[in-house]
Chains A and B, each alone.
Chain A
Amino acid sequence: MAEALARALGSTEPGHGPAPTLVLGPARSGRSALLFRAALAGSRPRALFLAPSALQRLPGARRGASDGRSLQRVQFLYPPSLQELLRLVASLHQSLPGPPALILLDGLEQYLAGCPGPQAVAQLSALLVDTASYFTGRLGTNPCGPASCCQLITSLRVPREAEADEHLGVLQRYFPARCWLCPDSLASLDQDDCGGNRMFRARLSQPGVPDHEWRVEFGLDGEMRVSPLPWGNTENPGVASDIDRAAGAEK
């Protein structure tokens, strides 16, 4: 949810509550790395990382780097299809040994590909929200504790097709907080792994909370670096228009 994502990006400011969060960005914009960073951030007792296929390497980490102790807190599950994902999420109350403090779903667009209609999108979203809510009840009643609720973050590659607009309309019912990843320059999308640093801006928006923005950079070594940006920074107007276009596509 938004608080877990803001913390992963280095924010220490209060304000972002536990709203389910959707991370949106184009291909190769670091969505998986951001989710993974959220899984490892803080001292949460357990995170559940769901994706349609196994990760080839730790996203956002230096090549060859691994933090075994932090990784032990993350449980990875790879349901290959929408049906498998629905069955897995619906049975988490009986299959997990304890309640997770964070549920991460990477690659939502792959599950939604060929989705029969808005009801299937709504069912998956609602089931995820309902499951996180159930685990929140299991985690305890202290609203200020570090693991007082089970947060939910899912990532979606920004869709281009018209049908995807309908998906986004349904998704925003269930994910009130959204984090847009926009390239800091058009070159960022075209850089391959050996071609130079890729830079993005991450803007976190949640109703009732001021927007926050960060610069996210992927170095040649594959490592993700995050730095905060003051809100209203207009040093690159092209980025703002990219964000506006993306926001327009959401409507």
Chain B
Amino acid sequence: MEATLPAVAEELLKEIKKAFQETSHVPDDLLLALKFIFGASAVAALDLVDQHSVTQVVSPSGRAVYQVLGSSGKLYICYTSCHFCTCPAFAFSVLRKNDSLLCKHILAVYLSQATGTCQELSVSDQQLASILLAEEEEEEERGP
């Protein structure tokens, strides 16, 4: 993602990426730091990454968007270049109350990028336009 995170969060994600590339796992001290910065979202986001719930959807135009399969089975949409998620927690905790940096789905996108565990899916340009508006989600409940 190109969106701006606080420097400490960006540094931590870089450390996680480096550690994962070298050892294929994330050391405890970095996990603790993740929980310190992102609170309860950290554990939930790690669960989503473990379950390979993050998919980068790309169309022939090169436009991309992330789909994250939530723990309830609902599919949420996260944009690639700025912080936005269609989940209720983003609307409430991030936008309305302004007491969270991110929701667990956006953090899962960051972590799946850092650990190289992001799934990939190719769709048509028309399908991608629908996904950008989360229209797929309303029309049908999709599986992973």
Contacts and interface: CB of A to CB of B under 8 A. Distances in A.
A129 to B, nearest CB: 5
B120 to A, nearest CB: 17
Given A93-B129, A94-B126, A127-B132, A133 B95 contact: no
B63 interface: yes
A93 B82 contact: no
Interface residues of B, number: 25
Contacts of B65: 130
B128 interface: yes
Interface string A81-100: 00000110011011000000
25 contacts: A90-B132, A91-B126, A91-B129, A93-B59, A93-B62, A93-B125, A93-B129, A94-B61, A94-B125, A94-B126, A94-B129, A118-B91, A118-B96, A119-B86, A123-B84, A123-B86, A126-B79, A126-B84, A129-B82, A130-B82, A130-B84, A133-B82, A134-B81, A166-B96, A169-B98
Nearest to A20: B82
Interface string B60-77: 011101000000000000
Nearest to B91: A119
A213 B86 CA distance: 38
Closest 8 A-B residue pairs measured CB to CB?
Answer: A126-B84, A133-B81, A94-B125, A119-B91, A91-B129, A90-B132, A93-B61, A93-B63
B2 interface: yes
A134 B82 contact: no
Looking at chain A's contact residues, is the secondary structure mostly helix, strand, loop, or mixed? Answer: helix
Contacts, number: 69
B84 A122 contact: yes
Interface in B109-140: 125-126, 128-130, 132-133
A138 interface: yes
Interface residues of A, number: 24
Contacts of B90: 119, 122
A185 B129 CA distance: 46
A78 interface: no
